[in-house]
Amino acid sequence: MKPVLVIRHAKTEGAGYLGEFFNQQQIPWQMLSIDCGDRLPENAQALSGLVMMGGPMSVNDPLPWIAQELALIRDAMDRDIPVLGHCLGGQLISKALGAQVRANAYKEIGWGRVQVLDHPLSRVWFGDLQQFDSFHWHGETFALPEGATHLLSSPHCHHQAYSLGKHLAFQCHVEMTAEMVQLWCQNGAQELHEAMASPAVQQAEQMQDRLEQRIAQLNQVAQRVYQQWIKALG
């Protein structure tokens, strides 16, 4: 089986629970670290799947690797290779397909409830789940590409996830581990202070309350979603 390529854009935003899931399922995968200067492949021919993780940058920033990554996403889709995006990764999928990525009305940071929309495809990805608490850390939001099915929504960000055939894009972070939450709280202390007036921003103490329990519940959601996504791997 060809490997799944996981693209990391920041040292603190790695594969998280997704890496654990791949290892449990014995799915071959490899990490490409943009933050370390790793070069993107010219095409997706050698891959069985393509995953993009999060990052603090914007897809609209003039960074040299963004155009290359957008081209890789389009190439994977043209080859019918499953694509999965988390937060920045979901925004990259939207931008690659010509949909707008812009500032969200609110900065959204911390634990927040998302609704699973009542649609047959929502049940394919999420089963009978109607809502769950996901983790958030973003200031921008994506529009839905043409042909996409809206799957998740939250009070402070309408577009939390969508699917396009075998491809899946998240605005929220379903890949979190307890260690990632703790590290983001530590590294993002200044951002949390500056955004404390937002009704969608929690402070570090709130985010880490009942952390192990919240992570265990989120891992269950992610496991269901990832189990569905890997069905399309070649």
- The reported pLDDT for the residue numbered 33 is 98
Cα 59 from Cα 183, distance rounded (Å): 23
Let me know: does 8 contact 34? Beta carbons within 8 Å.
yes
Q: What is the reported pTM? A: 0.98
Residue 173 DSSP one-character state: B
Could you tell me if 72 and 43 are in contact, meaning their C-beta atoms sit under 8 angstroms apart? Answer: yes
Residue 40: CATH number of its domain: 3.40.50.880
Distance set, CA 127 to CA 32, 118, 174, 223 (Å): 31, 11, 16, 12
CA-CA distance, 197 to 136, in Å (whole number)? 16
pLDDT for the residue 63: 97
How would you write the pLDDT of the chain (234 residues) with one tens digit per residue? Answer: 999 999 999 999 999 999 999 999 999 999 999 999 999 999 999 999 999 999 999 999 999 999 999 999 999 999 999 999 999 999 999 999 999 999 999 999 999 999 999 999 999 999 999 999 999 999 999 999 999 999 999 999 999 999 999 999 999 999 999 999 999 999 999 999 999 889 999 999 999 999 999 999 999 999 999 999 999 998
Tokens of 159: 């577009």
Amino acid 54: pLDDT: 98
Structurally, the chain folds into a number of domains equal to 1
Q: What is the pLDDT of residue 234?
A: 81
Name the region of 102 (left: φ>0; alpha: ψ -120 to 50; beta: rest): beta
Range of 206's domain?
Answer: 4-232
